[in-house]
Amino acid sequence: MAKISANRGDIAEGIMGAALTAKFLKRQLGQDPSNMPKIVEKDIDDVLKNFFRGSSFKKFVRDVPQPIDIPEGVPYGKETETTINIVRELLYRDQVVFKLTLPKGAMDFLSVQTNRNDVRDIYRRAILYANTDFTFIREANRLATNAKNDKILVNADGVSNQNETKVDIGLFANGRKIGNQISLKTDKGRQFDQVRGFGIDAFDKLFVTNLGILVDGNVKNEVNSFINKFNVTDAFSFKTRTSKDATGSSWAGLLKKAAAIYYKGAESVIKKQIKSISFRRKLAATIRYGATRGDQDIQLVKFKSGIGYSERTFGPEFETAMENADLSVSSNFTDNPTVKINSGGKLLIQFRARVDARSSAKGYTLFMRNILEAGTGLFEL
């Protein structure tokens, strides 16, 4: 895997959006969901090339005829069928629009065709999804054969409304959502939600508000007592020359130790409640909201190492699966405190207090995020 100058997650959104756009455009006579024409790498490159010529993409494509039912008694022959097909093709055509909004680094990277040679692994997985996902293929075929003038929009937006929506790639026809809206993760991308901040309020929001567990008051007192032994203001205001200096500092170590006290307390409660139906329903609701923000049409898609992908939807079957899962708890407190919930021995989800560094005018400073990360068990549940 080549090292690139942009974020691979952002790049993946652009490539996936272009792949889905290409699939809407590629049609053939006599197609149905079982034999639609396959897209290839060149189809994605063509979409991106045309988009970056003018920072927009709009193309018209004709509907393909469906089989014709001729009423009994009506004269019929090959010429009749050909005439009807030609009329249909002339009458109906779809407008396909591709919108792409990514951080500047990703847009600059994708705009250069030679750069895209370094992310062909992403191409292969996007192609596989576009050619095999049943729900998407069904919608693409319907719009290609419905004898209507449709306006199709593929909106790959990795910038706008990030706090309000989890949709990375939105699919619309005639102003309405179609199929599954996609939240996309690369093979190394686990995070799907977070609670920013440090201290009891932030930790409570993650575990008490979301999961509904009650962390012992003595644990919270111990956290506060530990925090009072050092100056939190200094911890978050000191500056270093590099991000590594910040995250490797003694201040970062103190923040992690304070979080570990709370996380250990939360882990203790979760272990006691892991078999409870009420806890499992709260866990399902926490994951569902974190992944979808309440949008029932979202599908979480994760690219696997190699060529494959996994997908997860969050309908009623998800809660049922959670209620019946073989769940267990494990943890890791040696670095960023982490509480793990496993399903059948595979990581389902983990809660992690992560100390990071961010740049400012005078150097790097610390900040903490309490993040939710998906494991392979979530997609196999």
Burial class (CB in 10 A: 0-12, 13-18, 19+), 143: buried
pLDDT less than 50: residues of the chain: none
The pLDDT score that the predictor gives to residue 202 is 95
Sign (positive or negative) of CA dihedral 217, 220, 225, 228: negative
| Helix orientation angle between 316-324 and 277-292, rounded to the nearest 10 degrees | 140
DSSP codes, 258-322: HHHHHHHHHHHHHHHHTT-HHHHHHHHHHHHHHHHTT-TTEEEEEEPSTT-EEEE--SHHHHHHH
15 within 8 A of 123, measured Cβ to Cβ = yes
Helix (H, G, I), strand (E, B) or coil at 162: coil
Using an 8 Å Cβ cutoff, are 351 and 372 in contact? yes
Q: How far apart are CA 70 and CA 170, in angstroms?
A: 39
Helix axes 8-25, 41-54, angle to 10 degrees: 100
Distance between CA atoms of 377 and 301, rounded to whole angstroms? 14
Q: Tell me: the pLDDT tens digits for 35-53?
A: 999 999 999 999 999 999 9
Q: What are residue 179's phi and psi, to 5 degrees? A: 55, -145
- For residues 188 and 342, give the distance between their C-alpha atoms in angstroms, rounded to a whole number: 18
Give the CA diameter of the chain. 94
Q: CB of 19 within 8 A of CB of 112?
A: no
For the stretch 179-192, pLDDT in tens is 999 999 988 888 88
Q: Cα dist. 378→142, 323, 324 in Å?
A: 31, 13, 13
The bridge status of strand 93-101 relative to strand 151-157 is parallel
User: Which of helix, strand or coil describes residue 37?
Assistant: coil
**Predicted local distance difference test score (pLDDT) of residue 188:** 81
Tokens read off for 93: 């055509």
Identify each DSSP E strand in the chain by its residue range.
57-62, 93-101, 151-157, 169-173, 176-177, 181-185, 191-196, 298-303, 309-312, 327-332, 338-343, 346-360, 363-374
* pLDDT given at position 29: 87
pLDDT of residue 186: 87
Backbone angles phi, psi at 278, to 5 degrees: -65, -40
- In this prediction, residue 92 carries a pLDDT of 87
Round to whole Å and give the CA distance between 36 and 17: 18
List Cα–Cα distances, 108 to 49, 97, 104, 115, 149, in angstroms. Answer: 13, 21, 6, 10, 34
The span from the CA of 371 to the CA of 356, in Å, is: 12
Pull the structure tokens for residue 203.
């930790």
